[in-house]
Amino acid sequence: MKRREFVLAAGVAAGAASASPAPRKLKVSVFSKHLQFLEGKALAEAAAGIGFDGVDLTVRKGGHVEPERVEADLPPLVKIIRAQGLETPMVTSGIVDADTPHARTVVKTLADLGIRYYRWGGFTYDARQPIVAQLEALKPRVAALEKLNREFGVCAMYHTHSGIGQVGASIWDLYLVLKSFDPDALGVNYDTAHAMVEGGFGGWINSFRVSEKHLRGIAVKDFLWKKDEKGRWRPQWIPLAEGMVDFPQFFQMLAATVFAGPVQVHYEYPLGGADTGQRTIKIPKEQVFAAMKADLERLRGWLASAGLG
């Protein structure tokens, strides 16, 4: 083979390889909000016993770690969790922008501990103002957070909620804000249920595709539309596989990307208070653990079918 032909053939092969992401196993963490009734070693032992690979720690007001105490309290807690063979790939913070109290200290502490990701967000719309102008006005705040994250080599993942007045609910608006920023400093934590609440039949597919460049985290939960006590249709959170989220299709789509995690499981259906992050729960903890394990096993089945488990 002539040298020119060899180079062309090698280029075609490289292109084919990049078009087919290598098989990988995604690690799954529990959102520690749902184990808020446990602390320290008990938290770590429960997460390991259920079968998780890691813990997404709450580092926010009322969480496992208060932001003002992050330097003192996060390192020993991370050490305890890692001693159980678990990872600490991310935390869920209360950071909205670089001016959030203790934001710099939280980000620096994460970097010191080798924690690459944290969840951020919370932008809302003013219904009296034009939406496009509000999105443009967010960009300087986002730029300041990008600068902070790049300084310490960490990535903030904006969590996609559903609901009226939520920036990022449709995800397209979040794309318009983030598209010019470094995705390794500012990413998206794509919530499967919230995305389908807002995306319906096919919109969630497009919102997933448009966010792919910035996709850095996946939050997993399921829902159904049900009427509340006033007869209004509202999303109701339920165990995995009992709702409307098309998880098999979702994970097949995810497998076609280069996404490598972190994945988090959320438990927001009734669990005696564990669902809302209560420090005292009204059902036996074993019942909470059993529900968590059942959802985790369903999730691992979908991951395996998609070549991600």
Task: Note whether residue 4 is domain-resident.
Answer: no
Task: Note whether residue 3 is domain-resident.
Answer: no
Task: Note whether residue 1 is domain-resident.
Answer: no
Task: Note whether residue 134 is domain-resident.
Answer: yes
91-102 pLDDT tens trace: 999 999 999 999
Task: Note whether residue 5 is domain-resident.
Answer: no
For the segment 47-66, the average pLDDT, to the nearest whole number, is: 98
| 8 Å CB contact between 158 and 121 | yes
Task: Note whether residue 11 is domain-resident.
Answer: no
| 8 Å CB contact between 101 and 145 | no
Number of domains composing the chain? 1
- Mean pLDDT in the chain? 93
CATH of the domain at 183: 3.20.20.150
Owner of token pair 């159980």: 84
d(CA 80, CA 77): 5
Task: Note whether residue 290 is domain-resident.
Answer: yes
pLDDT for 24 equals 82
| pTM, 2 dp | 0.91
Q: Which amino acid is at 105?
A: T
Task: Note whether residue 17 is domain-resident.
Answer: no
pLDDT for 3 equals 36
Quote the domain boundaries for residue 272: 23-305
Strand intervals (E) in the chain? 28-31, 54-59, 87-93, 117-120, 155-159, 186-191, 215-220, 222-227, 233-238, 263-265
